[in-house]
Amino acid sequence: MIPAVLHWWKKIKAYLVLEDGTTFEGEGHGAQAEVTCEVVFNTGMVGYPESLTDPSYNGQILVQTYPLIGCYGVPSMTVRDSYGLPVHFESERVQVSGYAVYELQPHPSHWTCATDLESWLKEQGIPVISGIDTRALTKRLRTKGTMLGTLTVGRGAPPPPPTGVAGGSPRESTSHVKNVTIRAPAVYNASGKKTVVMIDCGTKYGILRGVLERSIRAVRLPYDAGLDEVLSYRPDGVVISNGPGDPKECAPTIATTKGLLEMGLPIMGICLGNQILALAAGADTYKLPYGHRGQNQPCVDAKTGRCYITSQNHGYAIKGESLEGTCFSISFKNANDGTVEGITHSSKPVFGVQFHPEARPGPGETGYLFDEFVRGFSQ
């Protein structure tokens, strides 16, 4: 009985308060800190190391709907592939601002485990709340839409509800793209015979690897790289990456993309990059009520009728009707809500997808899209 009592006294209180006043009280882990940002949920059962390091989550509080998190621990960042990229992570650090789970497993078991999830998040300075009803929280967000939330660890009383609306939160600022974009150009696989420029709005390493594995030389440029800078590398094709926030805030990227569309270079847009392609062509985007985040989103190919299970992480989508009169048509639709999941150019080797063909985590059955992109400049 004594160890149990002592453990009870060691518990740190944590609170998650939504902007509508809904309050969740639980146990605190990680950093003793307070953060206020958009609260979003992910429906995946596994893949938390990849999700937590996905730059598209920068500046968000992530809620896991699956109840048991941390069962296989956290692998080592020192395990790298032949390109120098960490095998088990999508960036070099945790990108979320806060983390909410039902149960945080303290004793992981897996042959790749280097540390437990709680220790890793504490090292990374991320506040965590566990022991809350994540199902009720998810249902709240699905009913009322994405909201701001304040997560606090180590405070004696719950904080007041955050003011404002999620659409006007710091999450929507281009500063988050600035936080995750590369600071200076970087070249990978310099011996590749073909060159792809990646406009980095928050590139997942899985996307970079998806290009490199096809014997391509990849040049990674900051999100605000101008057209002249992109063309100075004499690219055979261009990838516009995923990233956090509202695509309309990425004005420099949209301007560069307009120029690239006029030149006719092969382009592949992924997630945020898909939305930027649409905006560059004169279409429009909008904020989804609660977004699509998880590894189980069904998407239907408009051409073949085949349904793919995809990995997704986005809070915005393209307005389908706004594509009328542009050079793009819809290539994929979400089978759940009918939202646009992909667009393709009418005459040029240019396309975008809202889902993640590289997965990481999730099913890799749409990885063939990287082959389609490469075929656009390899023939």
The sign of the dihedral angle between the CA atoms of 332, 374, 257, 273 is positive
Query: Which amino acid belongs to residue 86?
Result: P
Catalytic residue, candidates 29, 88, 292, 356: 356
The average confidence (pLDDT) of the chain is 94
Instruction: Tell me whether residue 358 is one of the annotated catalytic residues.
Output: yes
Asked whether 340 and 288 are in contact (CB, 8 A), the reply is no
170 preceded by a cis bond (ω within 30 of 0): no
What pLDDT is recorded for position 4? 44
Instruction: Tell me whether residue 113 is one of the annotated catalytic residues.
Output: no
Residues 6+ apart with CB under 8 A from 245: 59, 171, 172, 173, 174, 176, 177, 272
Asked whether 245 and 314 are in contact (CB, 8 A), the reply is no
Catalytic residue, candidates 201, 250, 271, 327: 271
Asked whether 333 and 345 are in contact (CB, 8 A), the reply is no
- What residue segments make up the domains of the chain, in order of their start? 10-172, 175-378
What pLDDT is recorded for position 364? 93
The stretch 57-72 carries a mean pLDDT of: 97
Instruction: Name the nearest CA neighbour of 133 among 41, 57, 49, 9.
Output: 41
Phi and psi at residue 323, to the nearest 5°: -75, -15
Q: Give the separation between CA 307 and CA 191, rounded to whole angstroms.
A: 37
Asked whether 341 and 354 are in contact (CB, 8 A), the reply is yes
What pLDDT is recorded for position 376? 92
For residue 172, pLDDT beyond 70:
no
The CATH architecture of the domain made up of 175-378 is: 3-Layer(aba) Sandwich (3.40)
pLDDT in tens, 235-274: 999 999 999 999 999 999 999 999 999 999 999 999 999 9
CA 46 → CA 52, 112, 119, 294, 361, distances in Å? 11, 14, 18, 10, 8
| Of 71 and 176, more confident | 71
The sign of the dihedral angle between the CA atoms of 218, 220, 223, 224 is negative
What pLDDT is recorded for position 155? 85
What pLDDT is recorded for position 5? 43
Do 10-172 and 175-378 fold alike per CATH? no
The stretch 267-283 carries a mean pLDDT of: 98
Q: Give the separation between CA 269 and CA 239, rounded to whole angstroms.
A: 6
What pLDDT is recorded for position 378? 81
Instruction: Tell me whether residue 271 is one of the annotated catalytic residues.
Output: yes
Catalytic residue, candidates 90, 172, 341, 358: 358
Q: Give the separation between CA 300 and CA 19, rounded to whole angstroms.
A: 35
The stretch 113-124 carries a mean pLDDT of: 97
Q: Give the separation between CA 112 and CA 359, rounded to whole angstroms.
A: 20
Fold of 10-172: Glucose Oxidase; domain 1 (3.50.30)
Residues 6+ apart with CB under 8 A from 228: none
The sign of the dihedral angle between the CA atoms of 28, 34, 36, 37 is negative
pLDDT in tens, 309-363: 999 999 999 999 999 999 999 999 999 999 999 999 999 999 999 999 999 999 9
Asked whether 158 and 25 are in contact (CB, 8 A), the reply is yes
Tell me how many degrees the CA angle 171-172-174 measures, rounded to the nearest 5: 100
